[in-house]
Each structure stands twice: as structure tokens, then as C-alpha cells.
Amino acid sequence: MSVPPDDPRFRREMASAYRSGWHFVDLATAIPHRGDSLKVTLFGEPIVVAREQDEDVRAYRCLRRPRGAPQPIRCAIRYGMIFVNLDQRDHQLIEPETITATPRSA
């Protein structure tokens, strides 16, 4: 599918992707089959993008051996293009805020 460059939805989504920390990696056709992978370097960090057995595309930050296994990072396909998000704040697990309430006596 080709999208004309003057499509306002395309331009709006691309602007949103670049503003929010999302970075273009490659076209989705670069990893067409299950088990295919692609290794790229973004800002000095090695990233592996793979098409898993369930046909989903996932991305992993490759860490050095002392630090452990590859760290999953957010990955999305939009308009046939693969984007990854390297923002550390986007990958932190957030604990649900517990709200304590004291019931009022009648």
C-alpha cells in the first residue's frame, strides 16, 4: 500500500511519532516471515527487531553480557513501517497507586 505524501493523516501521525520518542527502523517487508530478524543501531544502541512465531513484530535492546538478557522495548508498525521507542521512561513499570480511604462513621 502506498500513501501519498500529501495525506494529512500520514503527516500528523509521522509528526506525532517523531515528537514522542518513536524512531523509524525499516519497512515491515524487511522481516516478512516468522523467525526473521533485523539488527540495527540507533543512537549507539544495538536493537534487534524480530517477527515472532505468532506473527507479531517485537523489538529488543541488546544489553552487554554482564547486564543480562535482551530488554524488550516498545515496537509498532504504522503504514508498513517499523517504529521503536527508546525512551527509558516509556519502559518503566509503574506501580498502581493505592488509594486509602477512611470511612466516615454515621
What is the percentage of the chain residues whose pLDDT exceeds 90?
Answer: 7
In a domain, residue 69? The reply is yes
In a domain, residue 87? The reply is yes
Segment 22-46, tens digit of pLDDT: 888 889 889 999 989 999 888 778 8
Q: Which amino acid is at 83?
A: F
Strands (E), 1-106: 22-27, 37-42, 45-51, 57-61, 71-78, 81-85
- What is the maximal distance between C-alpha atoms in the chain? 67
The whole model's pTM is what? Answer: 0.61
In a domain, residue 4? The reply is no
Q: 15 to each of 23, 83, 99, 105, how far by Cα in Å?
A: 11, 13, 37, 54
Q: Which domain holds residue 31?
A: 22-91
Residue 21 or residue 66, greater confidence: 21
In a domain, residue 28? The reply is yes
Residue 65 or residue 26, greater confidence: 26
In a domain, residue 39? The reply is yes
Chain CA centroid to CA 98, Å: 28
Q: What is the mean pLDDT of residues 1-29?
A: 73
**18: pLDDT strictly greater than 80:** no
In a domain, residue 101? The reply is no
In a domain, residue 103? The reply is no
CATH number at residue 55: 2.102.10.10
Residue 56 or residue 18, greater confidence: 56
* Number of domains composing the chain: 1
Residue 97 or residue 50, greater confidence: 50
